[in-house]
Amino acid sequence: MSGYKETARQESCFRPGSTLCPGCMESVAFQNIGRVTDNGVKTIFTIGTSCAEVSTLAFPNVVAWGRGDDSPDDFAKSFSILHNVFESAPTLAEATRDVADQLTSIGALDRKIQVISASGDGGAFSIGLRTLLHTIHRRARVTIVVLVNEIFANTGFQYSPATMPFADTSTTPAEGTPGNLNPPLDYIHLAIAAGAGMVAQLSPAHGKMFVKAIERSLEVEGTAVIFIPAPCISGWKFEDGQTVELALLGARSGVFPAFTWERGKGGTVKDCPQDASERPNITEFLGEQRRFGHLVGKDKVTGEVKVKPGQEENMEKLTAWVQSNVDRMYSLAAMK
């Protein structure tokens, strides 16, 4: 199976009925991961505490998972999901993989199992950095997805180590301060350094690439890690219907460039030229979000996004950070 339209026709294991916000990118990601994994292999998801967990697994009303409308007769269509605390999704996935492999090597399990771990950036990069890096380090044959919305959305939109510079969060309030001053953790580099077999940064906004990356992640040797930039309508504070658009703008303007990499083969940055003049201006991305409302404003008549008076220096710093981010992605792509 491959191709965008073909994927659209697959059955997803992520069902409607979640209590995620309208337009949540995590939801879009799960829909598509769910479709790609409808490939005749039984899927087991492990999930860390996050919006995705509390909004999809709340007994007795909501378990927004499972393939088909009813429990499937076909074992390959069956589905399981396991949650335990904030940070442990990669470890749970690794354990699941090991038990399946061990049973298979004994001859007690002859059906294939694919295992996917899902966490948010708060869970993966703060409290869960240990588990993330060590599961990668042990080369566990699992796919790890990290939904990066740059905040702890579930607990109230606090700063996370993936928060971009100058963003207003509930713990870096842009009131008398310029917002977050800490540049984000270099998580892509960390995943490569820890020994990942495949690393990608892609959101479903890059439909075909995203689908192909998830497919590939199920096949590669070692651990596949996919960071999914996930615009958060409630935390980034933008208008309805802009989720996919912002995911594209953020990627194209250099905040989270589309990136795929495989050990031994190297990688590519797509849809995000290294030369800033060939990219959309970063202000287009910022202007749609109220978390940057202290930095830029939209002209009511022309719709043009302008830097607010007094914020020129911060804007320069932010622009410089974006360029360094793009340069870094190109240098990572050159690694093998």
Partner 1 sequence: MKVLDPRSILEDGVLEVRGDGKAGGGLVLAFQSLASLFSSLPNTHVQEWPFFSSARRGANIRSFLRVSAKPIDVGCEVTRPVLTLLMDEAAARSADFAEGVPHGGTYVINTRRTPEECAKHFHLSGRVLTVPGDDIGTKHLKHPIGNVSAYVAMTEAIGGLPMDEVVGIFLAQLKKRRIPEALIERNRDAMNATKVSIQSGIFDEARAGDHASTRFEGYGDLPIGAQTRLRLAQNNKTSSYARSGFRLVFADPANACTGCSHCIVNCPEGIITWEPDAERGVRVTGAEVNTFCKLCGECIEICPEKLFTEGKYEEVWDDTHAEEVTK
Partner 2 sequence: MSTTTAGPVSRVSTPSGERYDGVIDLARVKAAHVPYYPTREAVTADGNTAAALATLQMWRAILYPGFPITPSTKWIETVAAKVGAQKGTAKRVKLMEAEHAVADYMVGAAAACRDLIVSTATSSVGLDHMTETTRSLGASGLGNVMIIDVYRATANFPLCIEGDPSDALAHRDDGFIQICARGKQQIYDTVIQAPVLGMHADVMTPTMPGYYGIKDSHRNAKFWVEADSAIHAFQDKWIKECALPGTINGDTAMGNCVTSRHFQGFKVAQKRRIERALELLPEIGADFEKTFGRPGLAYFDEVGFKGDEPVDVVVVSMGPDFGTFESIRGEWSARNNTSTAGLAMRLINPFPREAVRKRLANAKVVLVVNQAHHSGRGHLTLDIADALAGLDKQPRIVSAFAGMGGADVSESTWEVMLDEGRDAITKAPRQPYMVFHEGARL
Q: How many residues does the chain have?
A: 336
Contacts with partner 2: how many residues (CB under 8 A)? Answer: 57
Q: Which is nearer to partner 2, 93 or 251 (CB)?
A: 93
Q: Give yes or no for residue 58 binding partner 2 (CB under 8 A).
A: yes
Q: Which is nearer to partner 1, 7 or 131 (CB)?
A: 7
Q: Up-side HSE of residue 255: CA atoms within 13 Å toward CB?
A: 29
Q: How far is the CB of 204 from partner 1 (least distance, A)?
A: 7
- Among the listed ranges 81-89, 176-184, 222-230, 278-286, the one in contact with partner 2 (CB under 8 A) is 81-89
Distance CA 228, CA 226 (A): 6
DSSP state of 299: -
187 SS3 class: helix
Cis amide leading into 204 (omega within 30):
no
Contacted by 92, from partner 2, partner 1, none: CB < 5 to 8 Å by type: partner 2
Strand blocks (E) in 65-178: 79-83, 113-120, 143-148, 151-152, 158-159
Q: Which residues pair with 199 in a beta bridge?
A: 225, 261
Name the one range near partner 2 by CB under 8 A: 91-99, 118-126, 230-238, 327-335.
91-99
Binding partner selected for residue 119 from partner 1, partner 2, none, CB under the kind-specific 5 to 8 Å limit: none
Among 23, 34, 66, 123, binds partner 2 (CB under 8 A): 66
Per the listing, tokens 């999704």 go with 89
Residue 5, phi then psi, degrees to nearest 5: -65, -35
Name the site residues for partner 2 (rule: CB under 8 A): 39-42, 44, 46, 53-54, 57-61, 63, 65-66, 71-73, 75-76, 78-85, 87-88, 91-96, 98-100, 102-103, 105-113, 130-131, 134, 137, 218-219
